[in-house]
Structure 1
Amino acid sequence: MTINFSKRTASVLAIASIGGHWIELQRLTPLFKDHDVTFISNKSFLDSKVNGSKYYNVPDANKDQKFNLIKCFCMVFVRVAVLRPGVIITTGAAPGLMGIVIGRIFGAKTIWIDSIANVEKLSLSGRIATKIADRVYTQWSHLSTGKIVYSGNLL
């Protein structure tokens, strides 16, 4: 089998960790209806939640699970390299940030939407994303700045 790394096979790559991040990402799915979307998350059973879209599972990882962070990064890297999405959108956390970093390397437009749970300040991943992503959104108006955009919330 030959892989054509220059061909885009997904127009949108949507990435989120399980829980609130995944729920918020799922609330965005009406925006994807006219696009070929592929999902990545960290629980295999979520493949039943993507309505026929492609789904890939990556290891659950956080700053306290160094080995899983490396495995997750490698798996996200391969998916982005093969899929070559035009846009990567994420509601967090670690796999989404990895997708944003890798997406920039491959020329994808990148969008970070910080979780509504972050009322006082952006998440650590969100603060890192402000330095990397093309667009960063907050769900709280008082957290918006020149680089961080408020456009409402997903709940």
Structure 2
Amino acid sequence: MDIADRRTNTNTMKKKVIFICSNGGHLAQIRELAPLFERYDYLLVTEEAENTLPLRDKYRMRYLRGRSEGQSRNLQFYWSLIVNSVRSLKILIGHRPSVIITTGSHTAVPMCYLGKLLGARVVWILSFARINSRAFSADIVHPIADRFIVQWPAAQTLYADSVYLGGGIY
């Protein structure tokens, strides 16, 4: 690619990043990072749901299978995990991010592990709602996370090597 090509396609010069999260509060928190989207060749990945489909008009989106209400560790949960693993792999191969940034939860786990296997750095931002308790999905990803960020000082004691960057109201 010559210099003229780089000027016409600025995305080729930007670092590729995937921002991934579950629907609901996790998505609200990742959308707080929207000012960063302009700095990267990004994809926003979340669960496909009635309230997330309109986001296609505003962001570069990809969707994973959502978890139905009340779904726990039953057969449907494991089927969703398999489907989302396949979809995550397709997204990763298509986008080739150097970094995956997530606010969690369960939807992000396959993306983080597969991305790590493909050489991406993983940044986990523990939910703002987690002050004094651990999160199951965070526990699963914490061992492979390159950076693990908490938003409350008390949460820093829950995860070794976590970084407190604020966000909490005291």
TM-score interval, smaller chain: 0.7 to 0.9
Counterpart in the other structure of 2:165: 151
Task: Give the corresponding residue for 1:28.
Answer: 33
User: Structure 1 residues 98 and 151 mapped into 2: Cα distance closer, same or farther (>3 Å)?
Assistant: same
Conserved? CA contact 2:20–2:103, under 8 Å: yes
Structure (1 or 2) with the greater helix fraction: 2
Pair member with larger Rg: 2
- How far is 1:14 from its partner? 0.6
Please identify, of 114-123 and 82-91, the stretch whose mean Cα deviation from structure 2 is larger: 114-123
Deviations 1:5-26 (A, max 9, x none): xx99971101011100000000
Where 2:143 maps in the other structure, the secondary structure is coil
Shift in Å, 1:92: 0.7
CA distance in structure 2 between the partners assigned to 1:125 and 1:110 by the alignment: 14
- AA matched with 1:143: A
Aligned pairs (5 A) from 1:88-107: 88-107=100-119
Q: Any stretches of 5+ residues in structure 1 without a counterpart?
A: 1-6
Q: Which amino acid aligns with 2:29?
A: E
Q: Which has the higher contact order (CA 8 A, sep 6+)?
A: 1
Q: How does 1:123-138 map to 2 (within 5 A)?
A: 123-138=135-150
Cα distance in structure 2, aligned partners of 1:18 and 1:99: 15
Superposed CA RMSD: 2.4
Task: Give the aligned residue type for 1:41.
Answer: T
Q: Which residue of 1 aligns with 2:5?
A: none
Kindly, what percent of the aligned residue pairs are identical?
Answer: 27
Task: Tell me whether 1:117 sits opposite 2:123 in the alignment.
Answer: no
State yes or no: 1:81 paired with 2:93.
yes
CA displacement, residues 59-96 of structure 1 (integer Å, 9 cap, x when unaligned) = 11464411111111111111112211111101011121
Which shows bigger deviation, 139-148 or 121-130?
139-148
Which residue of structure 1 lines up, in the alignment, with residue 83 of structure 2?
71
Aligned residue pairs, count = 149
Contact 2:14 2:39 in 1 (8 A): no
* Cα 1:13–1:47 shift into 2, 3 Å: farther
